[in-house]
Structure 1
């Protein structure tokens, strides 16, 4: 399965280190949950991005993707100066943006 456009842009913006493009992949009131830590809206997601994503030079590669329960379950490989290894991300989309992202 090919990644839907918002998920593809999320990965591309992260890999390019483009914070503005990264934040634009989310709805204004999006929720990001990372192992129980929750970040709401673009301001909250910007804080997560700085501490856990672009701020630690993450590079993402999609391992596999499947549609499930109205969202997308993505197995992703992460490399950089923060977490390294594979993990699971569940995306819920709203049009051409990400409404929620759960990392577990």
Structure 2
């Protein structure tokens, strides 16, 4: 990725690459949430459960990742692979106080 990625976003992406659920959840603030195509998962327990069922638990991979909208919020476009959803997606990250306030997934 050629654009600068905020540290909190990079921590989440690194955690996904490492299949490290603890590090992924830790990238979020205490009130952080994931919005997965309109389904919202708020707080560490719900984010962990979502990841176990939809992301890291499905051995998700991100390839051909690039920043499509820099700034805050920042959006990346990536090709998702693994044992769950496979296909192109956009992930928009809102960073507050060096943690993720939200991660929103869209087409």
Q: How does 1:33-52 map to 2 (within 5 A)?
A: 33-52=35-54
Shift of 1:96: 1.6
Runs ≥4 residues deviating over 3 A: none
- Stretches of structure 1 that go unaligned for 5 or more consecutive residues are none
Task: Assess if the C-alpha contact under 8 Å between 1:11 and 1:61 holds in 2.
Answer: no
Task: Assess if the C-alpha contact under 8 Å between 1:60 and 1:76 holds in 2.
Answer: yes
Corresponding pairs, count? 103
State the alpha-carbon separation in 2 of the partners of residues 62 and 3 from structure 1. Answer: 15
CA RMSD of aligned residues (A): 1.3
Q: Which residue of 1 aligns with 2:104?
A: 102
Deviation per CA, 1:9-51, whole angstroms, max 9, x where unpaired?
A: 1111111111111111000110211011110011110111011
Shift of 1:61: 3.2
Q: How does 1:10-89 map to 2 (within 5 A)?
A: 10-61=12-63, 63-65=65-67, 66-68=69-71, 70-89=72-91
